[in-house]
Structure 1
Amino acid sequence: MLPLPVGKTAVLDVVVRPEHTVDFDEMGQVHPVYATYAMAKHFEEAGRKLLVPHLEPGEAGIGTAVSVEHLAPSWVGDALRIVARCVEVRDGRLTCECRATDSYGRDLGRGTTVQAVLPAAVVEARVGEDARRSRGGAAPASGPP
């Protein structure tokens, strides 16, 4: 990985869409507000935006941890800004502090992400199609039991 200075940031601007709201597979729509799991996704995406320009040829990043503290609601149509800030690069891992704010300046959430930098071939071997097919001979599920 090329040098990535502590304090460097990446910004992800998001407008809350219906698919970002709380809608569980079994329970359906729960709340018409920005879901904590959508915030986690956006934290990871902002951290990845920070990492990718610093990868060297043949390297890949993969998420290993995410934490989210959801502080306030936001609704469909709200403009959000997600900022990921590098707080540590050590042993091939990038740790970012993340923050979500809305256009009114309210803090919506905070958390961290960690990404590991590995050879691209190692990542492909762990998550590619061959890895899926070779997971103990199990066939993909075709639907509910």
Structure 2
Amino acid sequence: MPVGATATLEVAVTPELTVHFDELGPVHPVYATYSMAKHFEEAGRKLLLQYLEPGSAGIGRSVAVEHLGPSWVGDTVTVVARCTEVSGNRLTCACTATDAQGRELGRGTTVQVVMPEELLEQRIGPAARARRDGAAQPR
């Protein structure tokens, strides 16, 4: 993947994307930081999929978000992921979120790891879960 390559994601802010915690309930009627983090990851994944070779898979390693300003239900947010580094099997993207007026709402980074599909399946597939669950059983 070339450094500088980008992918764009358009997001319509809905009530489901606002701040609502499982235990605490609704907090603020604005675009949640955790929703922004999800969209940063999704934009990075969209970029990766353009270049992913057959037999390879990608998985998220890290995400960082700095939420700079609010966006409300009904607003459109544009998320852009731009490749800033490819190092070994790791892809780093700089991500930004802007509103329809061009105001920067957030910025951050994502890192994805690329590996053979078989290796990823060994690590997170049903057999890996069965090994974990079996190991947790008392003997």
TM-score range, shorter chain: over 0.9
Aligned residues: 136
1:19 match: 16
Report the TM-score, using the length of structure 1 for normalisation: 0.90
Question: Pick from 101, 106, 111: which aligns with 1:109?
Answer: 106
Q: Unaligned stretches of 5+ in structure 1?
A: 140-145
**What is the distance in 2 between the residues matched to 1:129 and 1:136?**
10
The secondary structure found in structure 2 opposite 1:37 is helix
1:127 match: 124
2:25 match: 28
Question: What do you get for the CA RMSD once the two structures are aligned?
Answer: 1.2
Report the TM-score, using the length of structure 2 for normalisation: 0.94
2:35 match: 38
Range moving further from structure 2, 125-134 or 101-110: 125-134
**What is the distance in 1 between the residues matched to 2:120 and 2:8?**
25
**Aligned-pair distance for 1:135?**
1.2
TM superposition outliers: structure 1 runs of 4+ over 6 Å: none
2:62 match: 65
1:142 match: none
**What is the distance in 2 between the residues matched to 1:23 and 1:134?**
35
The secondary structure found in structure 2 opposite 1:68 is strand
* Identical amino acids, percent of aligned pairs: 66
